[in-house]
Amino acid sequence: MRLDGRRESENVEDRRGMGTGTKIGLGGLGGLIIAGLITLLMGGNIGDVLQQAGGMGMQAEGGQTEFTPEEEELATFSRQVMASTEDIWAQIFKEYGIGQYPAPTLVLYTGSTQTACGQGQAAMGPFYCSGDQKVYLDLAFFQTMDKQLGVRGDNSSLAKAYVIAHEVGHHIEYLMGTLDKAHRKMQATNQTNANKYSVRLELMADFYAGVWAHYESRLFGSISDQDLLEAIDCAQKIGDDYLQKRAQGYAQPESFTHGTSAQRMKWFKLGYQTGDVRRATTFQESDATL
């Protein structure tokens, strides 16, 4: 993905090396991130994973504040992607008469950090908190994508940009009122139904990530066919069924919270192909057509 010379977002908080006062290098939390994802997908307790994160933190080197060239490359790329989402969603909001676009803040952190949604941990992977309207990202996740999930692409790939754009997609859901409405319904029902609401939220965020990519390609010509293939490959490898089969040899559909590989690829591609925010209909689809 070609972003050379593009501006970097100033709406970024760089908390790397702060948090708990420890520094964990790229890849240090790789296995834990995967463990956390699989635990969540299988209906497990994230608290168990967070306890593991705390244990790993105590074993990490303390006081390290310098970052490797790879980390800095990823940080620059992340700021550029964030700037792109700001420009593109501002244009989309204007085109559709939605109003002014209030962009979220990107928080880069290491290991753990405080959020309005509680203590954020790298084991949770990238996440969006509507309480403070911030996207949280430990850059170690990108190496986990490469080394443990086998996601294709270099440090400036669309696959990595897709991760950030997906979390910004949750911000769009928040601005549209979809996120809070779904969360209220999730709290008022059983776990199986709550998981179904979660899947629809995640697929909608995938769709919005595709819409962003559509505009990014159309306006800047920065996305090649190879970039698109790598992003689709990423969507496939973070599907619930793919991760569960990899972890235990079989999938448990009732525990899905993000959607199958086929669903995630479908909704990302739909956003990319149409660029039409009105097609974000995951909550109107039946289970069969989702």
**Average pLDDT value for residue range 4-9:** 95
Residue 131 lies in a domain: yes
Q: What is the pLDDT of residues 198-222, one digit of tens each?
A: 999 999 999 999 999 999 999 999 9
> To the nearest 10°, the Cα dihedral for 17, 21, 27, 30?
-130
CA distance 215 to 89: 9
**Average pLDDT value for residue range 180-195:** 97
Reference 175, options 279, 99, 64, 251; nearest CA is 99
What pLDDT, on the 0 to 100 scale, is given for residue 269? 97
CA distance 201 to 199: 5
Range of the domain at 117: 12-279
Residue 95 lies in a domain: yes
Burial of 95 (0-12, 13-18, 19+ CB in 10 A): exposed
**Cβ atoms < 10 Å from Cβ of 289:** 7
For the chain, what is the domain count? 1
Residue 284 lies in a domain: no
Q: What is the pLDDT of residues 57-75, one digit of tens each?
A: 333 344 456 889 999 999 9
- Token pair 């079989």 is found at 250
Reading the block at residue 122, the tokens are 């790298």
Q: What is the pLDDT of residues 116-136, one digit of tens each?
A: 999 999 988 999 999 999 999
Q: Is residue 174's pLDDT more than 80?
A: yes
Residue 167 lies in a domain: yes
Residue 80 lies in a domain: yes
Residue 7 lies in a domain: no
Residue 71 lies in a domain: yes
**What element of type H or E holds 209?**
helix 191-220
